[in-house]
DNA sequence: ATAAATGTAGACCGACCTGTCTACCAATTA
DNA sequence: TAATTGGTAGACAGGTCGGTCTACATTTAT
């Protein structure tokens, strides 16, 4: 019976994403999930372990979501369009499985953890690699330069949308890549 | 005599940038700066006020630094080159006045403050506008699309460099913009 | 010289943090 | 039936948080 474990991860993830990892205490997660502290510490040896589990969950959800959005593209330009249209939907809260847009959890979490060699920072880095590989798999023989451009613009779109509240950033990225 | 005030801001800023705003306590700032708590609260009514002052200081430093890097450009492509070369220098810790690279303080701080209408989040947004305007001033009749491209790529370069540790991102941005 | 402002040192407040522990309950399994 | 497992509730420990306050020292201005 690992349903408690899953409830803990789901609750933690939604709170972490909404308010930031360091701003959410264990007790809040317990209160919201209605699970006892002892149970949490049977499943996770520390808060960091729970954070890591939540990041992994988010990574799975996100990769799956992105996969679905890219898979039906027939040309490279369609992949790009699908990718950035998907971002637009995410930013405007049309993708329920991703939750209310609050930037990228992995960027946000990296920002909170100053040690780049910590397990958590490394996992954030890993997530970005995963996304990059997924995009690469959906392109036909992409050059490194093209892939780099897509990925940098993707990060730029996420950051711009979140910090400056400009939801049109992904559409601008499509135009930029048209000329590439 | 506002030297104490300045010391507090400088100390707070360097700690905030290194470790994140929420991870740095008032007491740590006091210990490092060697200033009494009462003095801090005479100058600032709350920690948030100190955070805001530190952000303003960072904004000034950053804008000044960027201004110096852009001002001697003669063509638009030179402005772009100067901008992204400056980012490269920043990321590789060759710009002492910006401190050891730990991403963008304003992006990081936005990530920590979940309420987008808070004064702090709004100031982060303001900073990005300031940078955009500064870039615009150094370009000759730039189209909105061109300016958008530069700014999105800039955010992408910062985020990519920080999260995935790819210091070459700015140079890739130059190539992307060459084809624009 | 006197008064006001600015400073230091740090005790203290109530709240919250992660993590441990006791005590008890319910369900499954040998 | 007895024992094990997984659960609840929450006190507790040791520490940090932002912020207030007292008591005293030093500087500045009138």
* Per-residue pLDDT at B2: 67
Mean pLDDT confidence for B28-50:
95
Bases of chain C below 7 A from a protein C-beta are 6-11, 16-23
User: Over the stretch A37-81, which tens digit does the pLDDT of each residue have?
Assistant: 999 999 999 999 999 999 999 999 999 999 999 999 999 999 999
Per CB distance under 8 Å, which residues of B are interface residues toward A?
Answer: 18-20, 22-23, 102-103, 106-114, 116, 124-125, 128-129, 145, 148-149, 151-160, 162-165, 169, 172-173, 175-176, 179-180
Q: How far is the CA of A9 from the C1' of C19 (A)?
A: 18
Yes or no: say if A110 and B163 are a contact pair by the CB < 8 Å rule: yes
* Structure confidence at residue B86 (pLDDT): 98
CA distance A18 to chain B (A): 7
Q: Are A91 and B127 in contact (CB under 8 A)?
A: no
Q: What average pLDDT does range B39-53 have in this prediction? A: 95
Residues 27-46 on chain B lying near strand C, CB distance under 7 A: 34-39, 42-43
Contact indicator for B169, A152 with CB cutoff of 8 Å: yes
Range B97-118 average pLDDT: 97
- Is A81 buried (19+), middle (13-18) or exposed (0-12) by CB count in 10 A? middle
Q: What percent of chain A has pLDDT over 90?
A: 97
Q: For residue B3, what pLDDT band results from cuts at 50, 70 and 90?
A: confident
How high does pLDDT run on average in chain B?
Answer: 96
Pick the residue from chain B with its C-alpha nearest to A111: B108
Task: Say what the pLDDT of residue A2 is.
Answer: 67
Q: In sequence order, what are the residues at sequence separation of 6 or more whose Cβ sits closer than 8 angstroms to the Cβ of residue A53? A: A9, A12, A44
> Which residues of chain B does A164 touch, with a Cβ-Cβ cutoff of 8 Å?
125, 128-129
Could you tell me the pLDDT band of residue A7, with boundaries at 50, 70 and 90?
very high
Q: For residue B63, what is the DSSP state?
A: H
- Among B107, B157, B176, the residue with its CB nearest the CB of A176 is B176
pLDDT reading at B1 higher than 90: no
Question: Which of A78, A9, A68, A71 lies closest to A40 in space, CA to CA?
Answer: A9
- Please judge whether B176 and A149 are an interchain contact, meaning their C-beta atoms are less than 8 angstroms apart: yes
Task: Provide the H-helix boundaries in chain A.
Answer: 3-19, 26-33, 37-43, 47-70, 76-91, 105-112, 119-138, 144-163, 169-178
Instruction: Quote the pTM value.
Output: 0.96
- For B118-145, what is the mean pLDDT? 97
A171 is near strand C: CB distance < 7 Å: no
Nearest to A155 among B151, B156, B176 (CB): B156
- What tens digit of pLDDT does each residue of B136-148 get? 999 999 999 999 9
Nearest-CA distance from A110 to chain B in Å? 6
pLDDT, tens digit, 9 for 90 and up, residues B150-180: 999 999 999 999 999 999 999 999 999 999 8
Q: Are A86 and A66 in contact (CB under 8 A)?
A: yes
Model confidence at B91: pLDDT above 90: yes
Beta-carbon contacts of B157 under 8 Å, excluding residues fewer than 6 positions away, are A152, A156, B84, B87, B169, B170, B172, B173
Residues in A closer than 8 angstroms to B173, CB to CB, are: 152
Distance A43 CA to C23 C1' (A): 21
Does the beta-carbon distance from B116 to A154 stay under 8 Å?
no
pLDDT at residue A3 in the model: 86
Contact status, residue B103 vs residue A121, Cβ threshold 8 Å: no
Q: Which is more confident, A1 or A29?
A: A29
**Strand C contacted by A39 CB (< 7 A):** no
Name the CA dihedral angle for B156, B159, B165, B170, rounded to a multiple of 10 degrees: 40
Could A20 and B172 be called an inter-chain contact, meaning their C-beta atoms sit closer than 8 Å? no
How do residues A126-157 score in pLDDT, each as one tens digit?
999 999 999 999 999 999 999 999 999 999 99
Per-residue pLDDT of A102-128, as tens digits, reads 999 999 999 999 999 999 999 999 999
Token pair recorded at residue A89 = 């939907």
CB contact under 8 A, A111 and B114: no
Q: Which residue, among A44, A83, A58, A76, has the nearest Cα to A173 in the 3D structure?
A: A83
């Amino acid at each position: 019976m690992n349903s408690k474990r899953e409830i803990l991860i789901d609750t933690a993830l939604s709170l972490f994403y909404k308010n930031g990892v360091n701003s959410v205490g264990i007790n809040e997660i317990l209160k919201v999930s209605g699970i006892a502290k002892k149970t949490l510490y049977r499943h996770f040896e520390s808060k960091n372990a729970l954070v890591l589990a939540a990041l992994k969950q988010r990574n799975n959800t996100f990769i799956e979501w992105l996969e679905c959005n890219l898979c039906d593209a027939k040309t490279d330009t369609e992949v790009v369009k699908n990718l950035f249209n998907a971002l637009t939907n995410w930013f405007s809260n049309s993708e329920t499985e991703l939750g209310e847009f609050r930037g990228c959890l992995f960027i946000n979490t990296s920002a909170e953890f100053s040690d780049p060699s910590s397990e958590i920072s490394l996992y954030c880095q890993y997530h970005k690699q995963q996304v990059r590989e997924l995009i690469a798999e959906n392109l036909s023989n992409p050059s490194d330069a093209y892939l780099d451009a897509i990925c940098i613009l993707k990060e730029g779109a996420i950051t711009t949308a979140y910090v400056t509240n400009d939801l049109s950033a992904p559409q601008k990225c499509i135009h930029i890549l048209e000329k590439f």
